[in-house]
Amino acid sequence: MGKAKLFLYDFVTNKKIRKYIIAIVIFLVAALYYHKNNNEWMLGTAAMSNIGLSIAFLTTLYSIFSYSTIDRIKAYLMLPCKKSEVFFSFVFAQYFSLLLERMSFVIIVAAFFTKEPVLIVAYLLLSSLIAVVLDTVVLISLNKKRYFLAALSVVFIAALYVLLTYSQNSALNFTVLVVLLCISIFIVMTFESKHLAINRESKVKSNPFRRVNYFSTVMMREKIVLVNTASVFVIAGLFALISKETPFLLNLIWGVIAVNTPATTMFSGDKALMRQEKMLPRHSRLMNGVYGSFLAVYFMIANSYVVLLFVLLGQFNIFVLFTGIVLVVVETGIALLLERKYPIRSWQKKQEVWRNPRKYILPVIVFAITFVPYFWNSM
């Protein structure tokens, strides 16, 4: 078991375990109380399974790409361990962290608010393990520039969405899940363990974004920012897809699209940038304009995407359009205010910045604002 913990302590500490156990107990009590008073509210099997799969695949992909730098894990890769031991330890650390920090809450929801809790929890545990292994395949494939295997991993995940959405045959579902897990493990084992590390070499080539906006350049060059942006767009699309079964999810799309943590913490996550900014004359006014324009463009694109989802779902009206326009202004202003006036300073790893509770302030405000069109559509 010692080698299985090779990467684990980078993700989990005793303090973190105690903190999450307390959070899980509080969430469990809250879910139990809500279920006792609202026992008619239920999520469908497809909706719950797909939500769990999305959380597992996208958040783990985000975690892996922010963690697996050559400087951070090269010491582990130099240890005299078999590649099977290294891969097992890496997947085990990611899976344990996923279960503790995210899937435990999803499992509680499945236990209280679905008609087949045992079946769905089994789906969640197995599909989330497949997601972690496929995330590892994506990481290694991109490091080795094996883009076909990365695309194949995404195809496997898409196949799982289709399976869990339309198949009512549990025996067939579990058979496919086990087969996909075996295939994913086999693909991982065809690589060397050294390919887990991301080598962040500077690629300063002709890039049109360099002349437009510094923060746009960072977004286009940093994989983790791109991965997070793609993740929130995919989750928003998934919520839209299953909103017919659970209409309340449609209202959450606006809040989901606002959770682009790397994009909204560009200064907090780059101590060197903050030091260099202080050397500029009138630095605050200059950088506020550059960063504010970047945020405005991002939120304009993001909210346009949400409006498009409403159009495709046949839920578009003038209030949706008005909400999208207002949110561009509100999100840009609040994100800029939080980052410039209340930056996150006390952190050791960049992941701590992205997991800071401050990231929930903007989505909560957005969620509150979007109740207006939600209630209008409900009338």
Q: For all residues of the chain together, what is the average pLDDT?
A: 82
What does the block give as tokens for 155? 């195809």
Does 212 have pLDDT greater than 60?
no
pLDDT at residue 204, as a whole number: 43
Q: C-alpha dihedral over 136, 140, 141, 144, to 10 degrees?
A: 180
Is the model's pLDDT at 235 over the cut of 90?
no
The pLDDT assigned to 47 comes to 80
Q: How far is CA 105 from CA 3, 29, 65, 269, in A?
A: 28, 12, 23, 27
The confidence band for 264, taking pLDDT boundaries of 50, 70 and 90, is confident
pLDDT of residue 373: 54
Q: Which of 128, 123, 106 is nearest to 56 (CA)?
A: 128
pTM: 0.70
Give dist(CA 55, CA 98) in Å, integer.
Answer: 9
pLDDT at 283: 52
- Kindly report, residue by residue over 148-206, the tens digit of the pLDDT: 998 899 899 988 988 888 888 889 999 999 999 999 999 999 998 888 887 655 444 44
Q: What is the pLDDT of residue 328?
A: 92
Please state which of the ranges 39-43, 164-168, 280-284, 315-319 shows the lowest mean pLDDT: 280-284
Query: Is residue 177 exposed (0-12), middle (13-18) or buried (19+ Cβ within 10 Å)?
Result: buried
Check: CB of residue 69 under 8 Å from CB of residue 198.
yes
**Cα distance between residue 104 and residue 16, in whole Å:** 14
127-153 pLDDT, tens digit each: 999 999 999 999 899 888 888 998 899
pLDDT of residue 69: 75
What contacts 98, CB < 8 A, 6 or more positions away? 56, 59, 60, 128, 132
